[in-house]
Structure 1
Amino acid sequence: MQVQSKSGQAQAKPRSRQPEVTRRNILDAALVEFADKGLAGARVDEIAARSGSNKRMIYEYFGNKEGLWLTVLEAAYARMREEEHAIDVARMKPMDGMRYLMEFNFRFCARNPEFIALLTAENLNKSTYLSESEKVQKLYSPLLAVIRDLLERGQREGVFRRGVDPVHVYLTIASLGTCYFSNIHTLSTIFGRDLASQAELKARTEHCVAVVLGYLRA
């Protein structure tokens, strides 16, 4: 679309970014609501109020509450992968690269308790909604390629053992983080220690890194 300037020349009218802002606000509000109450307990009215939008706009952008839930899940996974890929692990030495992936996973889980809450809720749903995603598997293919490359280079250099499945390596890295943070409150109560403190997080990270690297060493 063009408008006339004072000089009479046609100028392009700036395109409004309002739809993008509205969509982002809805997703941010939905993340908080879903993480706090899960899919079943979350209310679209609350998401609309929190985002400064309305139910009509939510349904226009996402179809229904389930569509919004899936979009929030996909966005959470995408954010994790984007932050993880900020460092070019392919240029690291195999041992350093594997350490980075483990430390990143722990730091991300510590900073994003909402992500853990979403994973827990979707597992209770038996991945009913995530199984419909066309994006999530594609997000993880590059990560598995990075892990496979680290393992292969480590094997050639004689620092990693052979016959290691990259999927199992990732599952171990992920489980060491998500299990800790999904149970951090009950575990803190059981052992009488604040497992969310910086000292405990640092100690746990180092322990997990040592466990995985100890297994991988040739």
Structure 2
Amino acid sequence: MEKTDTAPRPDRKSPSWTQDPEGVRRSILEAARIEFVEHGLSGARVDEIAAKTATSKRMIYYYFGDKEGLYRAVIEEMYDRIRRFERGLDLGALPPDEAMAKLAGFTFDYHADNPDFVRMVMIENIHHARHLATSTKIATLNLSIIDVIREIYEGGVAAGLFRPGLEALDIHLTISALSFYNVSNRASIRQVFGHDMGAPDILPQRRQTAIDTVMRMLRH
């Protein structure tokens, strides 16, 4: 009896597969991001993702293996995006104190402008980061920002601008926490205190507070 190949194959009825395979992949990731952000991993449906793209469910499995593989790819893409933006800041051309303030401000702005990133990280924490643990890209991606912060910080210590004894990871966690909380807890703070942290007249103050907190942590 002839052996049947059960591995998923691309849907060759879609001309875009051969004309622009990377474009198809990006389209799937974008539709998947919206679906996962809205419904979480368990509630998201691959059928819905396929319906919103010029492809098929079979094509999605061809690219990403299964729903969890697609979910992991979405997270990887979201982390890759923020790291690409950070690399474009050209922080090495600035004095250490200006570079750190710029990074803190950028991180705050990025989270405020990309609430889907915050929501996906929250969803992944619900799953105890088990998908991040199986990613071959995430660790390498995120180590880059620690190296950047370490270089800025050590330059600031050498110049007498920053106090010694701090760890680059602690600085990163502080910057991230101040930026993340302003988005992740916006709804609950609004309900409990009647204070909208994302309102146009409040957000700039929150941003400056985040920068000031980081700089006070670093200075003598």
- Is the TM value for this pair above 0.5? yes
Q: Which stretches of structure 1, 4 residues or longer, exceed 3 Å deviation after superposition?
A: none
Q: Partners in 1 of 2:53 and 2:108 — Cα distance? A: 30
TM-score by length of 1: 0.90
Which structure has the larger Rg? 1
> Which residue, 58, 61, 74 being the options, matches 1:72?
74
Contact 2:79 2:142 in 1 (8 A): no
Residue 134 of structure 1 and its aligned partner are, at CA, apart by 1.1
Query: Superposed, which structure 2 residues align to 1:141-180 within 5 Å?
Result: 141-180=143-182
Q: Which residue of 2 aligns with 1:10?
A: none
Partner Cα separation in structure 1 for residue 27 and residue 70 of structure 2: 12
Q: Tell me by how many angstroms 1:16 deviates.
A: 4.7
Which of 138, 141, 161 is residue 136 of structure 1 equivalent to? 138
- 1:39 aligned residue (33, 38, 41): 41
CA–CA distance in structure 2, aligned partners of residues 89 and 191 of structure 1: 37
| Aligned position for 2:88 | 86
* Alignment RMSD (CA, Å): 1.3
The TM-score, its normalising length taken from structure 2, stands at: 0.89
* TM-superposition CA deviations, 1:124-166 (whole Å, max 9, x none): 0001111011111111222111111111111111110000100
Q: Partners in 2 of 1:142 and 1:17 — Cα distance?
A: 34
Amino acid across the alignment from 1:202: P
Distance (whole Å) between structure 1 residues aligned to residue 54 and residue 40 of structure 2: 21
Pairing of 1:16-55 with structure 2 (within 5 A):
16-55=18-57
Preserved CA contact (<8 Å) 1:77 1:136: yes
Contact 1:28 1:51 in 2 (8 A): no
**What letter corresponds to residue 106 of structure 2 in structure 1?**
F
Query: Any conservation in 2 of the 1:70–1:129 contact (CA below 8 Å)?
Result: yes
How far residue 207 of structure 1 moved from its aligned partner, in angstroms, is 0.6
Structure-1 residue corresponding to 2:8: none
Structure 1 residue aligned with 2:122, among 105, 120, 123?
A: 120
Instruction: Measure, in 2, the Cα distance between the counterparts of 1:17 and 1:27.
Output: 18
How many residue pairs get aligned? The number is 204
1:216 match: 218
Counterpart AA for 1:92: L
Q: Secondary structure at the match of 1:198?
A: coil
2:11 is aligned to: none
In structure 1, the partner of 2:9 is: none
Q: Is the Cα–Cα contact under 8 Å of residues 108 and 210 in structure 2 kept in the other structure?
A: no
Following TM superposition, by how much is the alpha carbon of 1:52 offset from its aligned partner in structure 2, in angstroms?
2.7
Equivalent position to 1:202, from 180, 188, 204: 204
Offset at residue 18 of structure 1 (A): 2.2
* Separation of aligned partners in 2, 1:104 and 1:184: 19
